[in-house]
Amino acid sequence: MSLDTSTTADSRGGAASTGAADRGAHGAAGARVAAELRDAILAGVYPPGARIRQEDVAGRHGASRVPAREALRMLEAEGLVTVVANTGAWVTRLNLAECEEIYQVRERLEPLLLRYNVPLLGEDGIDALELLATRMEGAADIEVFLRLDREFHLSCYEAAPTTMLGDTVLRLWNRTQPYRRAYTSVFRSEGDRSVHHEHHLLVAALRRRDAEEAERVLASHIRRTRLELARHPEIFDTP
């Protein structure tokens, strides 16, 4: 009798271990698929409003349906994807009011995050920011500009450890990425070079370790984007 009990316990233990291992494998695969899908959304492969089919995600990213479903849940939590039960998933679309609200939040949070970083940025890091600002001026391709611009701003925030502020800013950046792409097309077509001027002003403030000026320049930079987006409501009508 004791032998049977022991065997049953071992069997259950093995099943539990196997189940835990499966969950761990699915979790890791889900995180990988979420990272790849996030990159695709930010790159414009899936524009706002585009439908994302779970089976397509699984096939494209070499995963089963379970990690694909988990990936969509992760991105839904980040606000990048909207999942409708028993219907499907779509890349989240923002209307003008929603986008303005996010930019208002960014105007207040990002300068604070920058303030934490100002005394921690090394001269080499500031040199790298200046080089990025210069390269952006000469970027002929919108996607190249967007990649450099993202690297420029997020590099300003990497030095200071934060509990939640850094992650919050990153998520806000990701949610507005498609509309930054549309805005970039507009200001480049109009020949507006204010964004480049502001980048160089920000680098100069960082070199002087002038946190107040750096905050002011950054808040104005974000605000101007918000106001320009409001001037082009047609951006939000694009299907």
Mean pLDDT of 124-150: 95
- Contact 57/36 with Cβ under 8 angstroms? no
| Token representation of residue 167 | 């992650």
The confidence score (pLDDT) of residue 19 equals 47
Mean pLDDT of 21-44: 81
Same domain, 17 and 125: no
Three-state SS for 89? strand
Same domain, 37 and 130: no
Poorest-confidence range of 28-32, 98-102, 152-156? Answer: 28-32
Same domain, 231 and 160: yes
Tens digits of per-residue pLDDT, 87-99? 889 999 999 999 9
The confidence score (pLDDT) of residue 26 equals 54
- Contact 178/219 with Cβ under 8 angstroms? no
Same domain, 84 and 56: yes
Same domain, 80 and 125: no
Q: CATH number of the domain that 180 lies in?
A: 1.20.120.530
Residue 49 has pLDDT above 90, yes or no: yes
Mean pLDDT of 194-214: 97
| The model's pTM | 0.82
Three-state SS for 84? strand
Based on the structure, what is the number of domains in the chain?
A: 2
Q: CATH number of the domain that 31 lies in?
A: 1.10.10.10
Mean pLDDT (the chain) is: 88
33 vs 230: CA distance, rounded Å: 34
Instruction: Give the structural domain span for 102.
Output: 96-237
Mean pLDDT of 150-176: 96
215 vs 208: CA distance, rounded Å: 13
Same domain, 141 and 232: yes
The confidence score (pLDDT) of residue 127 equals 98
237 vs 214: CA distance, rounded Å: 34
The confidence score (pLDDT) of residue 6 equals 46
